[in-house]
Amino acid sequence: MVDDDAVSRHVLCSALATADLPYVAVASGTEALQKIDQVRPSLVLLDLVMPAPDGYQVLRILRSRPETRDLPVVVLTALDGDAEVARAFESGADDFVRKPFRPVELVARIRGQLRLRGAAEAIERKEKDAQVVLELTPALASNLDFRSILFTVTQRIAEVSKVDRVSIVLVRDPGDIGYVVAASDDEQLRDLPIDLAKYPEIRTVLNSGEALIIKDAATHPLLEIVRQHDAQARTFSSLAILPILYEGKAMGVLFLRAKQAFMFADRELSLCRTISSAMAIALRNARVLQSLRDQTQQVTVARFEAERRLKSLQRYADFFESSADGIVVLDAEGKLLFSNPKAREITGYREEDLAGRRLGDLFGGKDHGRARALKEGFARGEFPSGVDAGIVKKTGEPLVLSLSFSSVLREEGVVLCTFRDVTAERAVESELKKTKNFLERIIDSSADAIICADLTGRVLIFNRAAERIYGRTAEEVLGSDVRELYPVGQAKKIMEVIRAAGGRIEGTRTDILDKRGDLVPVSISAGLLYESGHPIGSVGVFTDLREKMRMEARLAQAQDQLLAQERQAVIAELAGAAAHELNQPLTSVVMSAELLKRKLEPNTSPYGIAEVIHAEAERMAEIVRKIGKITKYETKSYVGRAKILDLDKASTEETARTSSTPPKSGEGGYPRSG
């Protein structure tokens, strides 16, 4: 609303506000032209009589601009002449209201102009939509370059609807996989397979046959599962999915996507429905025609597709050709599209032999079924690295390859596979593993404890014998500090001794600590481990000395007992010998006393003395006889049947034994008996 008079502006503003018509009020023609460019109003209420530029000049400027040529303008003036009215209409006014005006009449004229403008815009939009339909329908009915036609359709829909991407997704029975046959932002896209399980919005439209509008993909519950599994999966905010129906059955969808929040108007949706209906018939006809084509046409299309993909990879050709690893390019079905010279050298196949073959055809034995698992992983976006697989060369020779896969940027459905021959390495690794297992069994079966540590003191090997000596399990010790297995400072001393001895010691006596903290005596043989002339660790072999020391103690005790017994035997022998030697003098004393008794008078003092001598000699003779019974010396005849100890013979034998076997030190000077 443009009027230089403040009172008129106030009255006009009140009338517009009462009618709930939003407005912007300005006081000059210059200000009006600026605001019109900023606000883009639906109608201009313009006073004619104003300081320059007046209403007539503003009208002429508006009509001269393409963007405001059709903008409705209702003029207001207090001039009463017919010439002024005619001049206003000649300048481009759409309606005329005289001042003073009635608010009801003014509002009615404004609403009338707005209705006329809305009707004109609707007719214009319909004409444009009809023009789009007229443009696309003949194209869809054409049989020439149908792929380009579909791309043109998606482009025009994107332009008319003002969205970022429009794509056509078709399905085949049973409908688990969809194929993107055209997209408005990629003219080269052809038959891209997609897993419909990752597109619940498409599945919903295919099942219901009804259009689906998603204003905010970040919050819509249908896409919750997709957001949980891949937060970066979708970059579009607003979606519109319309079914492509033929005879009531969905053949696919028309998929509209906008990166920013977007309101899909009824007019755009109606146009898309019209185009999708025409497209359904065209697609059906195209399918019929395609079913009539022979295999040669399909091969041509496949070759074209392969050439297109190879062309997109051509910039990497020099790298592929000079690579020391084998490189092949696979499509989504696992077919080989490209192979570099190293790949052909490793496999023994020529380039024409590999082209079109499936990767699984090269696998052999137990790895034959791995190709299917790899293909399923590609569909899930999984590209493993460092996978070993057995293949069979063209000559029949088995090989082991280390395979690594990756997707090709900007080329959906294409997988890059690099590999190298690791047959020799794996054979060596197998032998080393067997040797390692054998050595581990030897170490574990050793009767002595074996402990290995690196130079930092971290325990690397702790065998079963070590577990037995220390009372600790290998799980408890491995990775711990070796110094914890010795008394404080002992490990350092042993290492100093090893270095001082040139890196090796044998049979060194030391103590270790068991799990309870008790000292355990051991004999250690240890040395440094070297690699390229540099020490990298140490290994020790421990012999538990506890049993040996116990045996030595028992042996010493037995020796002491034997020595005591020998001493006792010698004493007994000496006593026996002495006793037997006393037999003869005692016999003489007894006989003498008996003779004295016979010669002396009884009851006399000499007789009593002789009787006492006789009695004591008999008692002593009895003692001698008892001692003689426990001796081992030879006896000889004495009187009649009596036997006495042959002390002379025993002395001669003892003297000979003593001279041949000197007494040992610590045994009291007595010779040990045999």
Name the β-bridge partners of 636.
644
pLDDT at 132: 55
Is the pLDDT reported for residue 191 higher than 70? yes
pLDDT at 630: 63
Name the residue among 222, 219, 260 with its Cα closest to residue 238: 260
Q: List helix spans (H) across 313-422.
A: 317-322, 341-347, 351-354, 370-379
* DSSP helix/strand/coil, 480: coil
Q: Which CATH architecture has domain 6-122?
A: 3-Layer(aba) Sandwich (3.40)
Tell me the mean pLDDT in the region 549-567: 86
CA torsion through residues 19, 21, 22, 24, sign: negative
Strand bridging mode 44-47 / 73-77: parallel
Q: Which CATH architecture has domain 446-544?
A: 2-Layer Sandwich (3.30)
Tell me the mean pLDDT in the region 584-600: 84
Is the pLDDT reported for residue 106 higher than 90? no
pLDDT at 645: 46
pLDDT at 454: 92
d(CA 505, CA 527): 6
Domain 550-660 of CATH type 1.10.150: no
CA dist 266 → 237, 248, 533 (Å): 19, 22, 83
pLDDT at 588: 84
Tell me the mean pLDDT in the region 326-340: 81
**Domain coordinates in residue numbering, the chain:** 6-122, 142-292, 304-427, 446-544, 550-660
Give the dihedral of Cα atoms 654, 656, 660, 666; nearest 10 deg. Answer: 20
609 residue type, one letter: I
Q: What is the mean pLDDT of the chain?
A: 79
Tell me the mean pLDDT in the region 183-188: 86
pLDDT at 292: 40
pLDDT at 671: 36
Name the token pair of 143: 């049989």
The fold of the 142-292 domain, in CATH, is Beta-Lactamase (3.30.450)
Report pLDDT digits (tens) over 376-408. 787 787 888 888 888 888 888 888 888 888 876
Report pLDDT digits (tens) over 199-256. 888 888 888 888 898 888 888 888 877 776 665 456 788 899 888 887 778 888 889 8
pLDDT at 234: 61
pLDDT at 136: 53
611's enclosing H/E stretch is helix 605-629
Report pLDDT digits (tens) over 432-482. 888 888 888 888 888 889 999 998 999 999 999 999 999 999 999 999 999
pLDDT at 304: 65
Tell me the mean pLDDT in the region 298-315: 60
d(CA 24, CA 4): 14
Give the homologous superfamily in CATH for domain 304-427: PAS domain (3.30.450.20)
- Percent of the chain residues past pLDDT 70, beyond the cut: 79
Tell me the mean pLDDT in the region 340-355: 85
* DSSP helix/strand/coil, 356: coil
Residue 618 pLDDT level (bands cut at 50, 70, 90): confident
Residue 642 pLDDT level (bands cut at 50, 70, 90): very low
Residue 306 pLDDT level (bands cut at 50, 70, 90): low
Residue 594 pLDDT level (bands cut at 50, 70, 90): confident
Is the pLDDT reported for residue 547 higher than 90? no
d(CA 129, CA 166): 17
pLDDT at 411: 55
Query: Tokens 């001493």 belong to which residue?
Result: 567
- Is the overall model pTM greater than 0.85, yes or no? no
Residue 263 pLDDT level (bands cut at 50, 70, 90): confident
Name the token pair of 234: 């979708």
Listed range (163-167, 349-353, 653-657) with the worst mean pLDDT: 653-657
Do 142-292 and 550-660 fold alike per CATH?
Answer: no
Report pLDDT digits (tens) over 4-53. 888 888 888 998 988 888 999 998 888 988 888 888 898 999 888 888 88
Report pLDDT digits (tens) over 131-166. 555 555 555 555 455 667 778 778 877 887 788 888
